[in-house]
């Protein structure tokens, strides 16, 4: 209910977490009744009566709720808390910091942030500069079918499964995944696989299951599994015994993707090292479509540079020229270039005693100094492209390496 008071909202959350708690539910019903929401009060009283059929308080409340008018009744002489609360709402800090309540009623295991559901509204695909290839492929492989249920029906099962973004570090995989969620108007549940594994050692299967359960409740929802390789990489490195189970749990959840329960749940994953991802996860119907996210192209670099320079004191910056001088740099590298240029201008100002703005020569010098952080990645990708391109899985990568004369 949009106009529920914060207290009613909190109680609703608490009741959802402890559905069998009759006094708690009656407390909620009482408040709903006071707020004039007698229908909602009836519904809560009914559930309470299911749990405790003989409960006198529940019966009494039910009777009152059934007979009450569906209007807020300002009680004579009573202090209007609601109005008072609204009046001081923005001067008085909230009394409690809202903690996410886990819907299964279990105690919070600590940092529950790993699967906070975000509502979309932030980034859209239009905010992703350039990368037209990636956008087109996302549109065809993911967005169009999701937006259009008819199309989904037409293609039936061939559209189930999820999408894996891969590529060198710092080139926008996470950023693009967020944009996809924004585009769909879907909730976005971002999960770092490393967190799933590390935070609650021994609990990772349950965590994995709960992530998907949360997503099913929030549908339409995009589940974004970042650092997917953590599952495979750790398994081979430490022979972690629980890892197999975690992978299996993920497989189970993914295989449920086209069942009715998973309607509206979409899976995106990202990794720098797709060759470390368990091959079972890449089978048809699972994370079977891949999109390569390469270092930003010209328009993307322009967007990124513009963003990082937006609050800095600059003068006469020729973005076109800078874009040309930064070919091959990742998003993270570009951020570093802007940082380094600012530092240069600052040191200069300190030395000469006259303040000067950041100019082209600072930026170009910084761009010349930075070593593309994607180079080690391309070195290992090259081997994979040459020796392990089974089934043409890495054809995009091969094409890029050839074009860049790295193969
Ligand atoms: N095409 C783009 N348009 C605008 N900004 C971009 C673009 N690509 C990357 N960026 C910027 O670069 C930053 C780094 O990208 P991001 O964190 O998504 O990379 P990543 O591929 O997920 O890296 P990692 O592999 O390290 O997780 C983002 O925060 C974003 O601001
Ligand atoms: Mg990332």
Q: Which residues of the chain have pLDDT under 50?
A: 71-78, 89, 91-114, 157-158
Q: Nearest to residue 168, comparing CAs of 403, 381, 386, 368?
A: 381
The Cα 318–Cα 363 span in angstroms is 10
The Cα 167–Cα 293 span in angstroms is 5
Please give the structure tokens belonging to residue 105: 């009623």
Question: Which ligand 1 atom is nearest residue 171's CA?
Answer: 21
For residue 340, give Cα distances in angstroms to 80, 308, 334: 57, 12, 10
Ligand 1 test: best mutation among 171, 334, 374, most atoms within 8 Å of CB?
171
Residue with the nearest Cα to atom 29 of ligand 1? 175
Q: Could you report the per-residue pLDDT of 249-271, keeping only the tens digit for each? A: 888 888 875 566 677 788 899 99
For residue 244, give Cα distances in angstroms to 197, 199, 206, 247, 249: 12, 17, 13, 5, 9
Q: What is the pLDDT at residue 112?
A: 41
Q: What is the pLDDT at residue 160?
A: 57
Ligand 1 test: best mutation among 291, 331, 335, most atoms within 8 Å of CB?
331
Ligand nearest to the CA of 226: 2
Please give the structure tokens belonging to residue 34: 């006071």
Indicate whether this model's pTM tops 0.75. no
Q: What is the pLDDT at residue 399?
A: 93
Q: What is the pLDDT at residue 102?
A: 36
Ligand nearest to the CA of 271: 1
With a CB cutoff of 8 Å and minimum separation 6, the contacts of 46 are: 62
């Amino acid at each position: 209910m949009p106009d529920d008071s914060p207290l009613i909202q909190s109680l609703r959350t608490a009741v959802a977490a402890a559905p069998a708690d009759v006094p708690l539910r009656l407390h909620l019903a009482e408040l709903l009744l006071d707020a004039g929401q007698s229908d909602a009060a009836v519904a809560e009283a009914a559930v309470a009566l299911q749990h405790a059929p003989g409960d006198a308080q529940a019966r009494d409340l039910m009777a009152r709720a059934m007979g009450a008018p569906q209007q807020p009744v300002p009680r004579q002489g009573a202090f209007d808390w609601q109005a008072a609360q609204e009046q001081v709402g923005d001067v008085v800090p909230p009394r409690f910091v809202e903690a996410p309540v886990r819907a299964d009623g279990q105690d919070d295991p600590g940092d529950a942030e790993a699967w906070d559901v975000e509502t979309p509204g932030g980034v859209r695909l239009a905010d992703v500069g350039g990368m037209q290839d990636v956008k087109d492929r996302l549109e065809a492989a993911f967005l169009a079918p999701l937006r259009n249920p008819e199309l989904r029906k037409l293609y039936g099962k061939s559209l189930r499964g999820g999408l894996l973004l891969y590529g060198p570090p710092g080139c926008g995989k996470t950023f693009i995944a967020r944009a996809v969620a924004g585009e769909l108007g879907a909730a976005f549940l971002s999960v770092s696989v490393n967190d799933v594994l590390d935070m609650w050692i021994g609990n990772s299967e349950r965590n994995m299951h709960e992530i998907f359960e949360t997503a099913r409740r929030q549908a339409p929802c995009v589940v974004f599994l970042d650092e997917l390789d953590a599952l495979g990489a750790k398994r081979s490195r430490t022979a972690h015994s629980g890892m197999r189970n975690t992978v299996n749990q993920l497989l189970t959840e993914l295989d449920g993707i086209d069942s009715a329960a998973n309607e509206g749940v979409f899976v995106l994953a990202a990794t720098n090292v797709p060759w470390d991802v368990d091959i079972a996860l890449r089978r048809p119907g699972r994370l079977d479509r891949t999109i390569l996210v390469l270092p930003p192209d010209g328009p993307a670099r322009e967007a990124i540079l513009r963003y990082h320079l937006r609050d800095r004191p600059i003068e006469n910056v020729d973005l076109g020229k800078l874009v040309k001088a930064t070919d091959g740099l990742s998003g993270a590298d570009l951020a570093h270039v802007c940082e380094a240029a600012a530092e240069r201008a600052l040191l200069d100002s300190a030395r000469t005693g006259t303040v000067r703005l950041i100019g082209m020569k600072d930026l170009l010098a910084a761009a010349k100094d930075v070593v593309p952080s994607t180079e080690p990645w391309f070195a290992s990708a090259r081997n994979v492209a040459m020796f392990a391109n089974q089934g043409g899985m890495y054809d995009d990568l091969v094409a890029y390496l050839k074009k860049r004369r790295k193969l």
